[in-house]
Amino acid sequence: MNATTEMPRWLRLPKQLWGQLAIEEFSRAVEDLIERHGTVTGVVRRMEEMGMGSVARSWLKNVNEPIFSEQLHALFGTGVLRALAAKLDLQPRDLVRRLSQVLPREVYRLSGTRHHQSRTLMWSGWR
C-alpha cells in the first residue's frame, strides 16, 4: 500500500459517517463545556445574572431564542472558546457560530424531563 495515495481500509468511511462523527464530537464538546460551567443549572444561573434569563428559560422549554457571539464570549470567556476551537480544529468564528446553534439544544437535552425542569426553575426562583 502506498501511504500517500491509499487509505487503510478502516479509514475508508462514507462521508456521511465522517459528518456524523464530527457532529457527535462537537455535541460531546458542548456537553463537556456545560458540565465545566456548573451543569445546566450553573449555565442558566450565569445567564440570568448576565441579563439573559429569558434566553436561558426559552432553551429549557425548547423554544431556543438565539444567543449571539458577544454573549457567548461573555458567558464562557474568549480564552475558553479559543481553546475549545483549537481542540476541535475549528476557527474560533466557526466554533461560535456552531455553538450558538447547538448550545440551546444541548441545554434542553441535558436539562432532563419537564418535571426536572419545573423543579429546577422553582428551586432557583426563576419561575
pLDDT of residue 22: 67
Give Cβ neighbours of residue 99 (< 8 Å, ≥ 6 apart).
30, 72, 81
Q: What percent of the chain has pLDDT over 90?
A: 62
Mean pLDDT of 83-94: 92
Tens digits of per-residue pLDDT, 26-62? 899 999 999 999 999 999 999 999 999 999 999 999 8
Burial 78-107 (b: 16+ CB within 10 A, else e): eeebeebbeebebebeebbebbeebbbebb
Q: What is the mean pLDDT of residues 85-112?
A: 93
pLDDT at residue 18 tops 70? no
Is pLDDT at 115 greater than 90 in this prediction? no
25 confidence band (pLDDT: 50, 70, 90): confident
Q: What is the pLDDT of residue 24?
A: 84
Tell me how far apart the alpha carbons of residues 81 and 79 are, in angstroms, rounded to a whole number. Answer: 5
